[in-house]
Amino acid sequence: MINVQYYQIVNNCNKIMIKQILSTIYSDILTLFYDFIALVIKVNVANIV
């Protein structure tokens, strides 16, 4: 009984950790993506002007 409960707790912790890691990676990629778009826009504006 105790082993089953312990396994469930560990499993839940692993799921939470994976979600946190994925969301961190996702937000990092979004930040890079937005920085890249901002850079492209700046370069295009500089070329036009």
Q: What is the tens place of the pLDDT at every residue in 1-49?
A: 677 888 888 888 889 999 999 999 999 999 999 999 999 999 988 888 7
CB neighbour burial string for 15-37, b if at least 16 within 10 angstroms, e if fewer:
eeeeeeeeeeeeeeeeeeeeeee
- Is the sign of the CA dihedral 24, 29, 35, 41 positive or negative? negative
- Is the sign of the CA dihedral 36, 39, 45, 49 positive or negative? negative
Instruction: Report residue 13 as tokens.
Output: 């912790």
Q: What is the pLDDT of residue 1?
A: 61
Range of the domain at 47: 1-49
Report the domain count for the chain.
1
